[in-house]
Amino acid sequence: MSENFLYLTRPGIDTHQEPVVYMRNDCHVCRAEGFSAQSRVRVCTGERSIIATLNIVTGDFLSHQKAALSEAAWRLLNPQEGDKAYFKHAPAVDSMGYVRGKLYGKTLSQAAASDIIRDINHGLFSDIQLAAYVTACAGNRLSTEETISITRAMVESGQRFHWGEDMVLDKHCVGGLPGNRTTPIVVAIVAANGLLMPKTSSRAITSPAGTADTMETLTEVTLSFERMRKVVREQGGCLAWGGSVSLSPTDDIIIRVERALDLDSEGQMVASVISKKVAAGSTHVLIDIPVGPTAKVRSAEVARHLSDALCKTGAALGLNVKTIISDGTQPVGRGIGPVLEARDVLAVLNNAADAPDDLRQRALTLAAALLEMGGKAAPREGLQLAQQTLQSGAALRKFEAICHAQGGLKPLHPAKHQHVIRAPKSGIVALFNNRVLARLASLAGAPNAPAAGLDLHVRLGEKVEAGQPLMTIHAEASGELEYALDFYNTHPEVLRIEEEVV
């Protein structure tokens, strides 16, 4: 069967993370191997091989001599245009047996978890197999022991940083709260006190901004690992994008499927958070859990359970974890979107009179806990030290020094188009829907258009008069502004105003 090859070509089709191979149904390889649409196929060049899902081509877009690879498949196999490749049926994925076992009530052992995560990491799970795994873990079906096994397997599947220090601080927020951009302030305060906090953050996936998106409006965030290490050595902290280093790569694959299914698995979320922190070389991590009806965590009970799982899993992996359960009923600060959030962060660091007090207080609370964890302040004295660091300007100087070390501090540019939304009636601001607000900011263009987003002018419980500005929509293109307005007009639940009860 030595003639069983085709020449590889790259039509530039982005199937997201699932590797796909395209072949003509009447090419000699398809016929000889008995492939059909959706077959799982091993594609092999001299050096490397991958597993891909087959899409059969019947039209003229592909020659009989060629097989096309999707972008994900091309990146994994990394061939040259025109390289020869050989094809055969992919073997069954043995670790799917553990997923089936879990469905029938068996416990996932460490060996099972390791095999599953290794196979996911090697691209052996198709999208529907990933969906089955995620579903089997959903509905609180993972015990703490199983979560620990998965976490350990995820750490083993990727790179791991070693900072050569006994105390490496980190923070994390389980998310779901627009504008909650405390990280730059917290890193500045903590690093200004001589503690090590080499922070890597993510970009937005479905939200209007991630910390990396916000920091990118102010400085360079795509740092090589060597550059990042230099910044941290000089400044004690950094504010970099974590995506250029491969920490817990399996997590990205799993999260994509969870998002598409809108399925949260507590165990999988815990494994995701803890594995990334361990891989980042952290030793002490503070985790913010905002609770509110439209936040990711919706009740105090769920938050306590999650907190317990995070602490126990962290401990099993040698990580000191502390959690803070915080208010998640409304956005934090005024801006939602990269530039608008960066503006709020700078206002707090500059001790500006009009800086949003809620963002300031939350950042101080988190920084205080980290200063205590790091031994720079006695228990209950962290807040005072954090306040001093902020008020004295030491935090601002540290922030600016980090930005300069990362490549310079850039000025912020406001959006071209702005539209003020006014109160349709007088009353009390009774409810913010965080999810709908986030969607509105995304439709206005955030984070791809960095200056786009929302600027909120009112807070929960505030009294407003009919016609008073509630928020301003910022957009960089008139089409996006229109699109966001259309959405606002059909989604009045973004912000509820109730009659004042006298």
Site for a second copy, rule CB under 8 A: 1, 10-16, 22, 25, 32, 34, 37-38, 55-61, 70-71, 92, 96, 100, 103-105, 126-132, 134-136, 138-140, 256-257, 260-263, 442-443, 445, 448, 479-480, 483
Q: Which is nearer to a second copy, 54 or 369 (CB)?
A: 54
Q: How far is CA 452 from each of CA 257, 414, 421, 476, 480, rounded to the nearest angstrom?
A: 28, 8, 15, 6, 9
Q: Checking DSSP bridges between strand 320-327 and strand 284-291, what pairing results, if any?
A: parallel
Q: Which is nearer to a second copy, 11 or 375 (CB)?
A: 11
Closest separation in Å from C-beta 295 to a second copy? 18
Closest separation in Å from C-beta 417 to a second copy? 15
Residue closest to 73 by CA, chosen among 93, 44, 101, 46: 44
**What are the structure tokens assigned to 500, written together?**
């004042």
Cβ atoms 67, 23 nearer than 8 A: yes
Question: What are the backbone angles phi and psi of residue 418, rounded to the nearest 5°?
Answer: -135, 140
Residue closest to 331 by CA, chosen among 175, 132, 447: 175
CB atoms within 10 A of CB 288: 23
Q: How far is CA 273 from each of CA 61, 134, 153, 476, rounded to the nearest angstrom?
A: 43, 16, 13, 34
The answer for residues whose C-beta is within 8 angstroms of residue 58's C-beta and 6 or more apart is 24, 25
Closest separation in Å from C-beta 455 to a second copy? 20
Q: Which is nearer to a second copy, 136 or 191 (CB)?
A: 136
Closest separation in Å from C-beta 221 to a second copy? 21
Closest separation in Å from C-beta 4 to a second copy? 10
* Burial of 191: CB neighbours in 10 Å, binned 0-12, 13-18, 19+: buried
Q: Which is nearer to a second copy, 167 or 263 (CB)?
A: 263
Question: What are the backbone angles phi and psi of residue 121, rounded to the nearest 5°?
Answer: -65, -35
Q: Which is nearer to a second copy, 111 or 260 (CB)?
A: 260
Residue entry with tokens 């606002």: 488
The catalytic residues are 264
Cβ atoms 251, 276 nearer than 8 A: yes
Cβ atoms 68, 21 nearer than 8 A: yes
Closest separation in Å from C-beta 208 to a second copy? 11
Closest separation in Å from C-beta 298 to a second copy? 13
Q: How far is CA 24 from each of CA 13, 32, 49, rounded to the nearest angstrom?
A: 16, 12, 20
Q: Which is nearer to a second copy, 375 or 479 (CB)?
A: 479
Q: Which is nearer to a second copy, 265 or 330 (CB)?
A: 265
CB atoms within 10 A of CB 349: 23
447: preceding bond cis by omega (within 30 degrees): yes
**What are the structure tokens assigned to 402, written together?**
């980090």
